[in-house]
């Protein structure tokens, strides 16, 4: 008799826990964001691009000038080497070789500096985007927000990329334009 009382109590407890779990799942609010799209379309991304262009533009122009000068020297060597004296030809070859090394060294240094700064700026941008996504999720009372890179399938009902993107835009800025979907092929 006592054993059957406990079994009924256990069944009731299991039923209560199962019902509570089902109710908790029914009220769980989940959202998914497209981080790559947020970073790409955020107005801050345009500002980062401009900042990097302003910072590295002069060095890039210097590189282009070095390359033009080197190309001119190479063309002069190709054109005039048959009529040059031995010493003059050797001097021009040495100048071209030295200029090529200098250009390659400068270009490598430029690329490394640019990559480092781009990564720093994109890291800051990504942190800002994720903070805005968290801000939106808290304000809209989401229980869980996932990045789409870790999601196998999602319905558009849980995609919160647009509202987060709107939060990233300054007040009065135009809404983002989504690429038009191509019409379905006719049969």
pLDDT at 74 over 60: yes
Does residue 179 carry a pLDDT above 50?
Answer: no
What's the pLDDT score for residue 119? 96
Residue-wise pLDDT tens digits, 151-171 = 767 777 777 888 888 888 875
Higher pLDDT, 24 or 100: 100
Task: Kindly state the average pLDDT of the residues 20-33.
Answer: 70
pLDDT over threshold 70, residue 29: yes
Q: What is the pLDDT of residue 2?
A: 53
Please state which CATH class domain 29-168 belongs to: alpha beta
- Residue 122: exposed, middle, or buried by beta-carbon count in 10 A (0-12, 13-18, 19+)? middle
Cα torsion angle, 115, 117, 122, 123, sign: positive
Domain boundaries, the chain: 29-168
Q: Give me the pLDDT at residue 53, please.
A: 96
The reported pTM is: 0.64
Q: Look at residues 175, 154, 155 and name the one whose alpha carbon lies nearest to residue 165.
A: 175
* Rounded Cα gap, residues 90 and 96, in angstroms: 10
| pLDDT of res. 166 | 87
* Band of residue 23 on the pLDDT scale cut at 50, 70, 90: low
State the pLDDT at residue 61: 96
Residue 41 in this model has a pLDDT that exceeds 70? yes
- Residues constituting the chain: 187
Lowest mean pLDDT among 9-13, 76-80, 99-103, 122-126: 9-13
Angstrom distance (rounded) from CA 107 to CA 63: 7
Query: 43-52, 55-64, 141-150, 175-184: lowest mean pLDDT where?
Result: 175-184
């Amino acid at each position: 008799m006592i054993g059957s009382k406990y079994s009924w109590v256990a069944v009731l407890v299991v039923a209560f826990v199962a019902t509570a779990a089902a109710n908790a799942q029914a009220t769980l609010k989940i959202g998914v964001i497209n981080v790559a799209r947020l970073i790409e379309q955020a107005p801050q991304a345009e500002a980062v691009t401009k900042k990097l262009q302003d910072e590295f533009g002069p060095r890039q122009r210097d590189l282009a000038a070095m390359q033009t000068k080197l190309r001119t020297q190479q063309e002069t060597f190709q054109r005039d080497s048959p009529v040059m004296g031995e010493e003059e030809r050797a001097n021009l070859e040495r100048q071209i070789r030295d200029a090529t090394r200098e250009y390659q060294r400068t270009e490598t240094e430029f690329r490394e500096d640019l990559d480092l700064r781009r990564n720093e700026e994109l890291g800051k941008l990504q942190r800002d985007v994720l903070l805005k996504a968290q801000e939106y999720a808290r304000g809209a009372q989401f229980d869980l927000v996932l990045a789409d890179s870790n999601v196998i399938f999602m319905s558009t009902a849980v995609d919160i990329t647009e509202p987060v993107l709107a939060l990233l835009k300054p007040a009065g800025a135009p809404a983002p334009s989504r690429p038009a979907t191509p019409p379905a092929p006719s049969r």
